Amino acid sequence: MPALGRIIVQVGTAVLKPAPARADAEARMDSENGHSIALELNLVEAQALKGWLLRTGSDGSSALDDDQVKPTLMQLDTALNYVEGVTTVRRELQAAGFQTEGMGDEEVAELGRRIAEAPLRR
């Protein structure tokens, strides 16, 4: 089964995408521009980061109030929704006896989309 649940958060350029599995979370510098930091997180770490960023401070503000952080947080949310959605579709297909081991995440997501959009037959 393809690795799922790893998310790369590109701070500075706000590029998020599902990432290949790694042994641990890591931060690395982008050698091309020298100022962009990428955080590689598993699903639980990404959910915890999102929760921490959304936590309201004593002044009533959160990361959503920061114009520099908000785009990255919004893309983190999009990436989490994608990974959680693919995980759910894969689990539901396997519970129905459909083998998904040979399918990539994009294929599982596309199949889930097609099933969701298919008209119901009675």
Q: Backbone phi, then psi, for 60, in 5-degree steps?
A: 85, 5
Contacts of 35 (CB under 8 A, 6+ apart): 12, 29
Lowest mean pLDDT among 26-40, 48-62, 70-84: 26-40
73 within a domain of the structure (yes/no): yes
22 within a domain of the structure (yes/no): yes
63 within a domain of the structure (yes/no): yes
pLDDT tier for residue 96 given thresholds of 50, 70 and 90: very high
122 within a domain of the structure (yes/no): no
pLDDT score recorded for residue 116: 87
Number of structural domains, the chain? 1
1 within a domain of the structure (yes/no): no
75 within a domain of the structure (yes/no): yes
Distance CA 89, CA 117 (A): 14
Q: In 1-122, where does DSSP find H-type helix?
A: 43-54, 70-95, 105-117
Kindly report, residue by residue over 76-95, the tens digit of the pLDDT.
888 888 888 888 899 999 99
Lowest mean pLDDT among 5-9, 71-75, 78-82: 5-9
Write out the residue range of the structural domain in which residue 57 sits. 6-117
